[in-house]
Structures are given as structure tokens and as C-alpha cells.
Structure 1
């Protein structure tokens, strides 16, 4: 497989990660203290993860910057007005309750006992400032929320939308909806949130956190210090966990995960998520404009082999963008089957045959050769690239793989024909999130430049329909349209696994892929 230098880099085990000194902190009420003052005792939680890094666009703590909100929410720095239960149902968090005044207007009442980590009270006016800043700076939020105006009155805000937004509360529960103190600003990639922990140091590879002494929740943070380390090399991550240098890890290589399963020395928390490994077809490529070519590629890649062999069964072969556990998921749609002979027939029908005997099909004297772009920070993606390259070679398609964490530069210059990434497609439990971000003409992450008037019309219908039972049939139509057009190839849904020492409690995988460091996190 032809890979970039970044993926060819040596996988020799690196030196163990040094344990860091810890500190306890002075107690302060909602009205005082800076939430960061240290005293005393040794109580640190060290966490190694593959999910933090530049390639994931989540370095920092400011939720108003690209996907940084995932770090804000995951690592206990910020919180949203509403959150999701383990069954993906909405429940109030910073909000006390809400009232749907009409199809365009909603009033949200805030809890009265919440303060930022700097001691400043969270009021309706502070939330309004936060959302105003979000709408001014974020790429996805304005398109999702479609807010016309926000007014504040004491401990409440009233949001008026430009059009109907049935999934508004779901969108406000996205990580970009974390409430931060805008007046405090951002210093060294650090913002002031309401969560149980406060960031003290942020780099491209590590976030250091301390207990928020001003935390408003009934359960106070149990750890004095939390260290989140970005460790993208699987062998290093595995060895660090085995050597006891980490208290918990997320993102172990699947071959390594088996070392920790059914082992009394460790605890494992697993959950099926809506994260999927997908491939977008670039419709600007002349070869890929032919539906038969896209179908042939989709029929040639063996999802079962990828999931069961390369992922060691830690996932489920996908049909569409959503797992079967959701009412609008895989059970409701169908895709082209795995059929390499059928793929060859489609290519021949489209005019591609191996006329020179080099093993690759050609047309008008040119081989069908495609540039495949992906990144290495998620271990599954290079494995999918390897599988796709081998499978497509079997049907005569040459795939040049570029697996690099500098992939954004290639996206900007358009130097790719297929782009593979990992994405959480229904983190808010509502399907519209995926459609608005990936398949509409103006979607921020429509990497294939897919356009469909029918899709735009269905989205218009979806955004004006309230009630899950009414939205589901529309979502299914939209998924099926993606599959019929072969705009994306969906490989596998992910099963998330957290491995931890047996003395760790209050640390578990969540189906939304949002909540990791919580007040309940503790070491016995």
C-alpha cells in the first residue's frame, strides 16, 4: 500500500509516560475563588486517548472553534443546556426546563445555582453572549440553529428561529453549545466553562485539568487533577496502559484490546455508537461522475472482512449512515451488495476494460486510477484504506493511498478522489445533524461536492417537521437517496471501548461519544 511518510513512521514503542505530581485545591463557593488554587494531596487521573489532536480539529478548549467543543465537553471543561441519557433521550443540564411557545420560538429557563469556574454566575444574559459569539464565529452552528434573535430575561433566554428548527434542543446539545464566559476570553487556548474541571495547560498533545472548586453540581469532582494525553501510536498506548502509566485509555488497537478483555487486572466499558467509517466520492472527478463506477467501487469493498478481520469484530458492517439500533438506521435502508464480479460487469458496461494486460481497467488509453485520502489518527482508517486498495485492485481499479494527518491541506487543494473519515453521524440522536453537515449542497463537510435537488427538498421537509415519529420516514428517504446515488460508501459502525485500571469508577463509554470526564470519575 502506498502511504505517506507520516503513516510509514516507525511504530517502535516509545518511552513510558512519566507520572505527574498532583495537588488538591481550596474549597470555594459559587461566589468566590478562581477554581484553580492548589493545596495538598496526591489524586491524579491520567488518561491516554487517540481522540485528541490537530487532525481531529479539537485542540484547545474554545467550543466556538471548529470541533474543539468535543474537547470542552468530553474532558469536563464545559456543559450544555441539555444533555443525552444513555438511551439518547434529552434531559435538562444547565437548563431547568423549557417552553415551546410556537413553531419558531422557544423559551429556556436556567437553573439558578450555576456559576462559571471563575465564580461568575450563569444568567440568561451570559448565555446570550455565549450564543451570540458562537453564531459569529462557528462554521456549522449558524446553519444548524438558524437563529433570528436571542433575548435574555433574568434566568431565561428566548430563542426565535428564522424558520422551523424541530431539532433545536438537539443542536444546542452539540459540543459547540457548551456555555462559556465570553467576557473572560480565551488565553493560551483556555476558556472558562461551567464543568467539573478547569484547564490549566493546553498543547497539541496534552490537556492538564484541575478540580473546579466552584462546581455547581450535587456531585463534586472527585479527582484533584486530570491529565489527558494524545497518544496516537497504538503500541505506545498499549504499553503505557500495561505498564501502569495510565489510569485509562480509549482507542487501543483492536489486536491489543484483546489483551485487556476478560482480564481481572483491568475493567472494560464498551458501547455501540453512531460513529461510522465512510468514504465520500468526489463528484468533481470525471470517472466518478458515472454512477456505475461509484456502484462498482461500493460493490467491490468487503465490509464483513474489514469489520470482522481487521477490526477484530469491534464493530458492525454498515448499510447506511446510522446503526440498526436507531429507528431510521440500517434496518430501514438497503445498499448495493458486496459482489466483485458484479462490480467488474458494471465497469465493463461503463467502458472500462483492461486492454493492455497490466491488471487495471482503462478507458481511452487511461487507467482507472484514483487518489484515496485519509488520516492516521484514527487507527481504523488506514486499515480501511488497506482493505479498499486490495479489494479494488481485484476489480482492476488502482488506488493511490495518501494516509496523512496533514489531510486538510489536500482537502483544500482538492487533491483527492475519495476521502475517508470517521464521523459521529447521530450524536444528538436526531438524523438531521448528518444531513446538514455532509450531504447538502452547502454542507460544511460535503467533501464529495454531492448535489441533489431531491435531497435539498427532503431536507426542507425535514426541517419543518416536528416529532420523531414524523421525522423518521423523511430521514429514511434521505438515507436511501444517498445510497441510491452512491454519494458515500459506509463501511462499519464503531464499538467504543474504554480500558481502565480496576480501581477506576465513574468512567464509562457513552453512545453519544460526548461525555468522558465527569464529576463521578474517581479512583478507589
Structure 2
């Protein structure tokens, strides 16, 4: 009787549990949490720095905007044209003065209205704490009157509205402050937890936009191992991923299960020659290195076609990236140039020597972008073919080596047109003595053209100057441009409103939904 009673009780409890699930989609846990979106990415910026959604902290603004926490005064459309976002309109009063009229219906996620004074306070903190914004914006003073903000720059800044679309320009509530690395923005989602492992977000109940956020919770996970990212997507643990290894993409071609959104971006994989390295002060050596690499092979074979071979700093789909002539793949001519430079002997290992010393160069890069180790491996093989020994240092501590100058070639992935304008890259990476000019390249003619670009408002003239500057960089063999990233999002078939954008900024938007 006792055993029969136990069996009966078990059956009754099972039935009760079954009935309790009737009428709900996913049971009690899902009912409590609502609609949850699980997103895995290899490109979670702060995981490589100090995790934060404070846009004024180095490059943390990328996470602020990418994951829907903050929005900027201006944004880019799919053709990278700048458009008002939190701004309603703007007026270039004179060469040094920009007047911006804010929308009147914006609120922060805490329900507080976004006013001219709030924007003024945010921008003043930006230029006080960010390492790039002061140099970009050249702001002298800011005034606010109701919903109008007037920015006066110390000199002409023709690309001001483009710079204000950079993620560091995300508008946050300065009175609320930064608590637990969380900023209060205007976006469709609110960060509730931020650390090196990822970020957790909830719906912004005060979102001002016409399209309201559809997800109740979003969990962004930083997964820097490509195989782990792929397996998590295949197992159903994740709803969408960004940054899958190219070899994994064929696993997601089943359109009954998955969708893929891809777009070409201005993220270029480049290698800057260190002009402090004696051997690289000889242009023949730099040119030989450039001629030894077959960019088409790198893109089509090593990247499985998930990229575009580069000539200059900007894609030729942009008006300031057309008509450039760079070094062509020609290993025999590369060998001839090295011989002309005095490397006439070869040691027992097959490497060329000069005065008895082999030509050995240090290639510095990092691993968080899967293309960079592939580029380093390919460069090592290609340069060996022309007799140059390449010692590769692929490390996430690359900044320490940069500070100490312990490298001869520095390869990185960088978005060259984050503001939809060429000046940002040319001023920060090419202009003499700039902190991000990692090759220590200096050409007075190039500096003069960048100065002219900085003072030119006419769009056609700016494009022409940018092309001329890039051509001189290529003539000097100062930077080797390998390829541009083709970014792909892989998602479950039921995910909608989630698409790759050429700016590499906008990911979590109000349109995101799961059917």
C-alpha cells in the first residue's frame, strides 16, 4: 500500500506540473524574464580594456552605442551619410560655430528630459576625460539655451557633425554619474551589469523613440575563442553571434535554421612600418615587404573570401578611396630591391644578410581579431620567400610593446572612417607626432595636405585631398593595407531587426525581435 501510494502521489504531482505549464510558452522562468536575447561576440570592446558603458572612457563608447545603451546627436545611414539622431537640425553659423537644435521629446533611461544643459554638461565631460575627442573637436566653449546647444571651436572643424556621431559622443546623464561602470543613456536598453565577461541589458521603459524596444532582456557574452563561439551558436545556447571564424560559416548555411547578415566595412587590416627601425628607413626594404604579399591570396584563401583586398586606407566604394595605385605583388622584384639595398648574401637558413647580419624584423599584433594572426602567419611565410626573417609577437599585451617601441612592423585592425569622413584616420594615424602614429611616419608634404583638409569645408575638395594624401603614403610605403573586413552576423531564423551596419556601430536597436 505504501508503494502504491507513493506511485499515485508521484503521478498526481506530475499532472499538476503539466497543467501548470498549460497556457504558457516557455514555463515559469521564461514568464518571469519575458523575451530574452542571447548574443555572443568576439568584438566586445571593453573586454580588452576596462569594461564600461561610459563613452568618455577610451573606446568604451562602442559598447554604449552597439548595445543600445546610448545614442549620439548624429548617426550614419547605410550609405554612411551623417543624419540627425538626438539632434533635430543644425546650422553652421560660421567657420568656428555650430548650432544644434535638439529634439524636444528625448528622455534618458531614468525618465529625465534631455535638455541643452544636459548635452552641454556631457560634451564638456567628454573633452575633459576622453583621449581623442579634444583633438578631434577643438571645442573652445559650449553654451545652452533650452533645446539649443551652440559649440564654438578654437579653429575650423569641417567634420564636426561627423565627429559627434562617433560613439564617444553618446549623450549620457552626467548628474546620474557612472555607477558600477554603467552610464545612463537615451537608448532602447539599460545596462544592469557590466564586466569583462559581457553585459546584461533590460528594456528602457522610458525610451523616447517611436519604435519601442521589444526584448525584455538582452545578454551579451564576450567569447573570444572562435570555436567556442561557433559551438555555442550550434547548440542553441545563443540566438546570434558576431565574429565567427570564417571556417565556421559553412556550418550555418541551412536557411531553415539560420540567417546571415553581411556588409563590407571600413575596418582595414594594416601594417605600419616603424621608421625608427634602421633597416626600414630604406624605402627599398619597405617596398620589397609590400610587394611580397599577395593580398588577393590572403583574402580569397586565408579569409575564405570574407574580405576585400585593400589598396589604401579607405574602401574604393567611398568617394575618398578611389583611383589609388599601390605596390603590386611581385616577389622577384622584391628580391631585386633587397639586393639593391645591399642584402646580397644568404645564410644557411635561407635568409638574406648585409654585413654578415640577417634581415630580421619584429611583427607585433594582437589576437582579438581573428584576421590578424592569419595575416601575421601569412606575412611570415611570404617574407621568408624573399629572404626576410619575421619574428611574430601576437599578444594581447601589445600596448606594452608599443610603449617600449619593441616592434618593427605593427599590424592592427582599425575602422578608418568611423565618422564617415577621411580626416579622422589621417589626422590620428598619419600626421606627424600623433600618439596613434605607430610607425612614426613623418612627411611635411603629407602634414601640409592634412592641415589643408582640416580647414576645407567643400566635400569634393576634401575627397580629392584625401586621395592625394593616401597616394603619397603608398608612394612612401609607410603603411601596408592588406584588406577590409566583411562583417557577418549569424542568427537563428526567428531573429528579426538585427543587421550588420557598415559603420560597425549599431547592433542592438529597438527593431530587434524574436518571432
Bin of the TM-score, shorter chain as denominator length: over 0.9
Pairwise CA RMSD = 1.5
Query: Which of 203, 207, 211 is 2:199 aligned to?
Result: 207
Matched with 1:60 is: 52
User: Does structure 1 residue 295 correspond to structure 2 residue 290?
Assistant: no
1:337-348 to structure 2, matched below 5 A, reads 337-348=328-339
Residue among 462, 468, 490 paired with 2:481 = 490
Structure with greater proportional helix content: 2
The residue number in structure 2 matching 1:35 is none
Q: Deviations over 1:99-146 (max 9, x none)?
A: 111111110000111111112111111111111111011111111111
Q: Partner residue of 2:20?
A: none
- Is 1:384–2:388 an aligned residue pair? no
Secondary structure of residue in 1 paired with 2:43: coil
Q: Give 2:100's match in structure 1, choosing from 104, 108, 125.
A: 108
Q: Number of aligned pairs?
A: 489
In the aligned structure 1, how far is the partner of 2:44 from the partner of 2:238?
16
Q: Which residue of 1 aligns with 2:8?
A: none
Aligned residue number for residue 161 of structure 2: 169
Q: In structure 1, how many angstroms separate the alpha carbons of the residues matched to 2:52 and 2:294?
A: 37
SS at match of 2:484: strand
Stretch deviating more after TM superposition (185-194 or 164-173): 185-194
**Cα gap change, 1:71 to 1:332, in 2 (>3 Å):** same
Q: Of residues 357, 365, 387 in structure 2, which corresponds to 1:366?
A: 357
| Distance change (3 Å), C-alpha of 1:262 and 1:320 | farther
Match of 1:318 in 2: 310
- The structural deviation recorded for 1:295 is 0.5
* Aligned mates of 1:389, 1:144 — CA distance in 2: 36
Supply the distance in 1 between the matched residues of 2:29 and 2:444 (Cα, whole angstroms): 57
Please list every run of 5 or more consecutive structure 2 residues that lacks an aligned counterpart in the other structure. 1-25
CA distance in 2, matches of 1:463, 1:72: 28
Deviation at 1:58, TM superposition (A): 6.9
1-side partners of 2:365 and 2:135: how far apart?
A: 26
> In structure 1, what is the Cα distance between the partners aligned to 2:320 and 2:51?
33
Q: Which of 375, 385, 405 in structure 2 is aligned with 1:414? A: 405
Would you say the 8 A contact 1:140–1:444 is kept in 2? no
Residue equivalent to 2:176: 184
SS of aligned partner of 2:185: coil
> What does residue 350 of structure 1 align with?
341
The answer to whether residue 260 in structure 2 is matched with residue 280 in structure 1 is no
Greater displacement, 394-403 / 459-468: 459-468
Q: 1:169-222, CA deviations, whole angstroms, 9 ceiling, x for partnerless residues?
A: 000000000001112211221111111111111111211111111111111111
Corresponding residue of 1:515: 506
* Residue aligned with 1:126, SS: helix
Distance 2:195 2:507 in 1: 19
Aligned to 1:125: 117
Which structure would you say has the larger Rg? 2
Q: Aligned match of 2:137 in 145, 161, 166?
A: 145
Deviation at 1:361, TM superposition (A): 1.0
- TM-score w.r.t. the length of structure 1 is 0.91
CA distance in 2, matches of 1:332, 1:425: 17
Task: Calculate the TM-score normalised by the size of structure 2.
Answer: 0.93
Task: Report how far residue 352 of structure 1 moved.
Answer: 1.3
Q: Does residue 80 of the first structure (1) align with residue 72 of the second (2)?
A: yes
Deviation at 1:358, TM superposition (A): 2.6
The CA deviation string for residues 369-404 of structure 1, in whole angstroms up to 9 with x for no partner, is 111111111111000001000000000110111111
Partner of 1:358: helix, strand, or coil?
Answer: coil
Give a deviation string over 1:336-375, Cα, whole Å, max 9, x none.
1111011111111111133433311111221111111111
Distance of aligned partners of 1:169 and 1:283 in 2 relative to their CA distance in 1, 3 Å threshold:
same
Q: Is the 8 A contact 1:79 1:194 kept in 2?
A: yes
**Corresponding position: 1:254 with 2:268:** no
CA contact (8 A) 1:52 1:58 kept: no
- Aligned match of 2:425: 434
Alignment check: 8 A CA contact 2:38 2:239 kept: yes
